[in-house]
Chains A and B, each alone.
Chain A
Amino acid sequence: MQWVDALVQGILLGGMYAQYALGMALMFGVMRIVNVSHGDLVILLSLIGISLASSFGLGPFAVMAALVPLALAFGWILQRAVLNRVVGEDPLPSLIATFGLSLALQNLMLQIWSANSRSLPGGGLESRSIEIGGIYIGLLPVIVLLVAAGLTLGLDLMLKRMRFGRALRAASADVEAAAMTGVNPKSVYAMATAIAVGILGFAAVFQSLRSTVAPADGGAQLIYAFEAVIIGGMGSVWGAFAGSMVLGVAQAVGFRIDPGFGVLSGHIVFLLVLALRPQGLFGRA
């Protein structure tokens, strides 16, 4: 029973990770860029959300309604002001630029919000749960997982069916050929990053409802997103989603073995996948 519980809790945890991983998979797929400040942006948005909630007495979903557009704007500005200048064959400039941004953001947050952990009051939502066959399932984690699945589905449909999605897939296949077909790569990139960071608007609310956030937490979120993408296999948003579930289960099972072993067992699964199936569990060879 204990292990079934770990499995269920792991999948629910995976819903959280999927919300970080989707944006990273999208950005890498389109631009071959990894935004090192990905996790710090989650934390920044969370802290802004917490401050909004306490200053204006907003509920969690009102905060979300404010954060998602803000996150979209952040992403768009990030691409226009920084990433469009460093995107290219050489991975170094984009890594260094976002690395510097991560350092600056982390310390800026430290100054504004101090090093304390905070969380978003959920009005009782965070503590509600249902019991199914002896396993307690939290309502909030279920919502998180459903939203993650919804975001994945939405992203997948957008990529397959919409005009912008086609332009995006074209640009990720061959950016020069896309430009020769009339696609403006810089605006496609700006939209892609806006969406990637926009999803973090959802993630920020859920992260700060589920647990606490502190300015130094961003690095861990970046690593989880990265591991989920690699475990799942690059190339599809569903891969990132499935990879998040695997990571969540690995961490939850590890945590049951020994509380100090939770995060580590996620890393170990990641390294095992890298050793045995480098294209990812669900990726094509």
Chain B
Amino acid sequence: MTEVLSTHGLVAGYGDFQALYDVDVEVHEGEAVALIGANGAGKSTFLRAVMGLLPVAPDMVHFDGAPVGGTPTDRMVQKGVAIVPEGRRLFTGMSVSDNLRVAIDQSSRFERKGCWTLSRLYQLFPILEEKARTPVESLSGGQQQMVSIGRALLCQPRLLLCDEISLGLAPRVVREIYAALPEVRAQGTSVVLVEQDVGLAKSASDRLYCMLEGRVTLSGRSEEITREQIGEAYFGGGHAVG
């Protein structure tokens, strides 16, 4: 399988604070990779570094075999990486369809074409069609998350980064959102899932990486990794995750 994304000795941080230390992560084509770890382990920082939102050296991040570290965020989107950011980050004051159209406007100018259209997205999340003219701030949390995912999909990504998409949502809504993943992967899109919910992360991914204090402490095939191993990697001690 060919690598879509790989990081090599990735270091990044905020000002004087270093948040990532020599992180090596690989994502293959069509693969779903989960990134788990406690709060502050560096998962979101990793995604931000990949997206060009933090200064990193070019060689630290490769996409499609080419060095892309530190490329401006909008250029990363153009290359085929989209993100569902932490906290959804929708465009307030704009309707659902306008939020989605911003992505369509941009991706229609890319050389690379994709398969996602507004109608296809509405098939995936029918509620969004119903709410198309509603301002995004009056949607429920789950609906907002769907808009955020939809916006990322309409960027026609080859690699989709999802930052804690289950956070703060009811279990039923989380299931509904995760049910959309197979459809996304069926298009050959690779997925990186940052998750707090270890069970969810394990079941939705092919492989997983566990991070602790800015370092990768465990990696392997999701089905082969035991809860005890994760517990150890998660806290750096002999705890089990219940």
Contact = CB atoms under 8 A, between A and B. Distances in A.
Given A167-B105, A167-B106, A174-B89, A180 B94 contact: no
Given A180-B83, A184-B72, A184-B74, A166 B101 contact: yes
A25 B155 CA distance: 30
Nearest to A168: B102
Q: Which of A170, A173, A174 has the most CB of B within 10 A?
A: A170
Contacts of B151: 181
Contacts of A184: 72, 74-75
Contacts of A163: 105
Contacts of A182: 74, 77-78, 103, 106-107, 110, 155
B74 A177 contact: no
A169 B72 contact: no
Contact of A173 (B53, B94, B152): B94
Nearest to A184: B74
Interface of A: 163, 166-167, 169-170, 173-174, 176-185
A80 to B, nearest CB: 15
A173 B93 CA distance: 8
B155 A173 contact: no
Given A169-B94, A180-B77, 14 more contacts: A167-B106, A170-B94, A174-B91, A176-B73, A176-B89, A177-B90, A178-B91, A179-B72, A179-B77, A180-B73, A180-B85, A182-B74, A184-B72, A184-B75
A280 B170 CA distance: 40
B99 to A, nearest CB: 8
B102 A170 contact: yes
B53 A178 contact: no
Contacts of B72: 179, 184
Nearest to A166: B102
B41 interface: no
Contacts of B152: 180-181
Contact of A181 (B75, B93, B103): B103
B114 to A, nearest CB: 12
B105 A180 contact: no
Interface string B70-101: 00111101100011010001111110001101
A181 B94 CA distance: 15
B85 to A, nearest CB: 6
A177 B85 contact: yes
B194 interface: no
Interface of B: 51, 53, 72-75, 77-78, 82-83, 85, 89-94, 98-99, 101-103, 105-107, 110, 151-152, 155
B102 A181 contact: yes
Nearest to B78: A182
B92 A173 contact: yes
A163 B105 CA distance: 6
A178 B102 contact: yes
Nearest to B92: A173
A50 to B, nearest CB: 41
A201 to B, nearest CB: 27
5 contacts: A170-B94, A177-B85, A180-B77, A183-B102, A183-B106
A52 B57 CA distance: 51
B226 to A, nearest CB: 35
Contacts of A179: 53, 72-74, 77
A42 to B, nearest CB: 29
Given A182-B155, A183-B106, A170 B91 contact: yes
A181 B53 contact: no
B161 to A, nearest CB: 9
A258 B100 CA distance: 55
A267 to B, nearest CB: 31
B101 A181 contact: no
Nearest to B99: A170
Given A163-B105, A167-B106, A183 B74 contact: yes
Contacts of B91: 169-170, 173-174, 177-178
A184 B73 CA distance: 8
Contacts of A180: 51, 73, 77, 82-83, 85, 89, 152
Contacts of A176: 53, 73, 85, 89
Given A174-B91, A181-B155, A182-B155, A166 B105 contact: yes
A164 B177 CA distance: 31
A177 B105 CA distance: 15
A169 B77 contact: no
A160 to B, nearest CB: 8
Nearest to A185: B74
Contacts of B78: 182
Contacts of A169: 91, 93-94, 98
A176 B90 CA distance: 11
Contacts of A177: 85, 89-91
